[in-house]
Amino acid sequence: MTRSFLGWPAFPEAAAREVGNRQLRENVRRATRTIRGKRAVLAAERPDWEQLRDSAAAIKDRVLAGLEEHLLRVEEKVTAAGGTVHWARDAAEANRIVTDLVRATGEREIVKVKSMLTEEIGLDAALEAAGISARETDLAAAIVQLGDDLPSHVVVPALHRNRAEIREIFAREMGRHGRPAPDGLTDDPAELAEAARLHLREKFLGAKVAVSGANFVVAETGTLVVVESEGNGRMCLTLADTLISVVGIEKTVPTWADLEVFLQLLARNATGERMAPYTSTWTGTVDGDGPRAFHLVLVDNGRTRALADPVGRQALRCIRCGACMNTCPVYERTGGHAYGSVYPGPIGAILNPLLRGPDDPQTASLPYASTLCGACNEVCPVRIRFTDVLLDLRAQVADGGKHPVERAALNTVGAVMERPALWKAAVKAAGLVGPLLPARTPLPGWTDNRALPDIPGESFRRWWKRNEGDRA
């Protein structure tokens, strides 16, 4: 069985459940604080950091403005280099294309390089339904897969797990999917890494087909780029006979000079390293070296929908560094699962409604999964203004008429506030407290966690009137 985010509850409900899990909260807090600290040091190290962010945002905006043209260039270059380009409108189409490609090879077990997009479209489940087992080779993604769990972070999918839990998953599950974990495995990081290395090596050496994602696609040469820290990606990209790369249409950058900007930002902002240990690039096929067949599946799945949103389109600049979630105080308390998608945290709160439309209860709840504190705005390497997009999406949800009671309540408050006489009367009666902070109707959301303030005997305006009369 493969777990999925299908039919996930709305954020408040899912979040309440996660917040109640003390172990999870501690794991997420510890991990995000560590990465956050490392990132801050390495970002401060670059005197041109703010300019890099400006450039990155500008390049992405330029790509998005002429996306079609850049994609056609990608198609032309990849084809010229011996690859085949496929276009997929949505998840179902992408899954069908990949499944057919794998079927055609006759293979039953394939390897995967961590890819958010294949999680987004539910590729593993689609392959499984076709009798094909796809094994993750990124350590964190493998932990999630072995544990029949769901990813909770875009860079560190198993961030919500601690070492003891990982040891337990390895000992229990590895044997069912290949080479078992060694007897007496402890939760020492080196031992865990060695167990994973041996288990995964067997997969790499046996695999004839690999599925990858890509961090970037350089249009001028049709080159795909993967940035990773373990080298598993490079194994998959070079050892397989058939390589299928499944990539979102927004991953394009026009030139190698543009790529340079992103490579300077990505590792520093993602993991707090000066450079990622492995940056692999591949272009089409070459006789006698690497995969004999290369397929690029370009996936839309809501991206053109997001692109059509004048405020929200900036979410497509995202390079999946994870800094926004590492910094978000809401994510820190809930972890990633509460967001019901492979994209959690601030980017998830905006990207999911933009890709899928903000009109089912789950996606409609996400723009409200933020206090608008703005911490995410400060760390995003491509300068996404999360607070602007969140507010705009909230307006879309509100205009969708999904919250008639809330709108009526706020309308009443608004109507009172616009009319000085009514407003004065309301403040006098402290009736304002009703709509603002409903003290008289029981409001568990507030009073479960806090005492209500005392209602003062005299409002400011009455004090003013008593002391100043109608002088003003």
Partner 1 sequence: MPPNPPRARTALFVTCLNDALFPATGRATVTLLRRLGVEVDFPAAQSCCGQMHFNTGYREETAKLARHFVDTFADYEEIVVPSASCAGMPAEAYPLAARAAGDPGLARAVAELAPRVVELTQYLTDRLGVEEVGAYFPHRVAYHPTCHSLRATGLGDRPHRLLRAVRGLDHVDLPAAEECCGFGGTFALKNPAVSGAMNGDKARHVLETGASVLAAVDNSCLMNIGGRLTRDGHPVRTLHLAEILARTEQDGPLPGVPVAEAAR
In the DSSP assignment, the letter for residue 183 is T
End-to-end CA distance of the chain: 72
Structural contact between residues 146 and 189, judged by C-beta atoms closer than 8 angstroms: no
Among partner 1, ligand SF4, none, partner that 418 touches (CB below 5 to 8 angstroms by kind): partner 1
Distance (Å, whole) CA 308 – CA 432: 40
Q: Could you give the strand order of the β-sheet that contains 84-88, starting from the edge strand earlier in sequence?
A: 84-88, 293-299, 242-248, 209-212, 109-112, 133-136
**Residue 146 or 347 with smaller CB distance to ligand SF4:** 347
Q: Does 347 bind ligand SF4 (CB under 6 A)?
A: yes
361 contacts which partner out of ligand SF4, partner 1, none, CB within 5 to 8 A by kind? none
Q: Is 12 in the site for partner 1 (CB under 8 A)?
A: yes
Considering only residues 346 through 385, tell me which ones interact with partner 1, judged by CB under 8 A: 367-375, 377-378
309-to-73, 88, 314, 353, 358 alpha-carbon distances in Å: 24, 21, 9, 11, 12
Whose tokens are 């507010």? That residue is 391
**Exposure class string for 256-271: b at 16+ Cβ within 10 A, else e:** eebbebbbbbbbbbbb
Burial 335-348 (b: 16+ CB within 10 A, else e): bbbbbbbbbbbbbb
Residue placing its CB nearer to partner 1 in the complex, 47 or 469? 469
Cβ–Cβ under 8 Å, residues 329 and 373? yes
How many residues make contact with partner 1 (CB under 8 A)? Answer: 71
Residues 408-427 that bind partner 1 (CB under 8 A): 410-411, 413-414, 416-418, 420, 423-424, 427
- The partner in contact with residue 227, picked from ligand SF4, partner 1, none with C-beta cut-offs of 5 to 8 angstroms by kind, is none
Q: Of ligand SF4, partner 1, none, which one sits near residue 318, judging by CB under 5 to 8 A according to partner kind?
A: ligand SF4
Minimum CB distance to ligand SF4 smaller for 158 or for 384? 384
Q: Which does 252 bind (CB under 5 to 8 A by kind): ligand SF4, partner 1, none?
A: none
Listed ranges 63-71, 279-287, 347-355, 457-465: which one lies at the site for partner 1 (CB under 8 A) = 457-465
SS3 assignment, position 383: coil
Please say which residue, 232 or 365, places its beta carbon nearer to partner 1: 365
Map the footprint of ligand SF4 across residues 177-236, applying CB under 6 A. none
Dump the DSSP string for 63-97: HHHTHHHHHHHHHHHHHHTT-EEEEESSHHHHHHH
CB of 109 to ligand SF4, least distance (A): 31
Structure tokens at 179: 């080479």
CA distances from 179 to 141, 170, 193, 203, 219 (A): 17, 10, 14, 9, 40
Contact string (CB under 6 A) for ligand SF4, positions 366-405, x = contact = -------------xxxx-x---------------------
* Span 279-338, contacts to partner 1 by CB under 8 A: 329-330, 333-334
When binding is defined by CB under 6 A, the residue of 157, 322, 340, 353 that contacts ligand SF4 is: 322
Strands 133-136 and 84-88: unpaired
Residue 169's CB is within 10 A of a number of other CB atoms, namely 22
Binding partner of residue 395 among partner 1, ligand SF4, none, CB cut-off 5 to 8 Å per kind: partner 1
Task: Give the shortest CB-326-to-ligand SF4 separation in angstroms.
Answer: 8
| Least distance in angstroms from the C-beta of 396 to ligand SF4 | 19
When binding is defined by CB under 6 A, the residue of 39, 112, 320, 337 that contacts ligand SF4 is 320
Binds 344: which of ligand SF4, partner 1, none (CB < 5-8 Å by kind): none
Structure token digits, residue 159: 């961030």
The answer to the question of residue 355 lying near ligand SF4 (CB under 6 A) is no
Closest contact distance (angstroms) between CB of 397 and partner 1 is 6
What whole-number distance in Å separates Cα of residue 88 and Cα of residue 91?
7
Structure tokens at 238: 């070079």
Q: Which residue ranges make up the site for ligand SF4 (CB under 6 A)?
A: 154, 318-324, 347, 379-382, 384
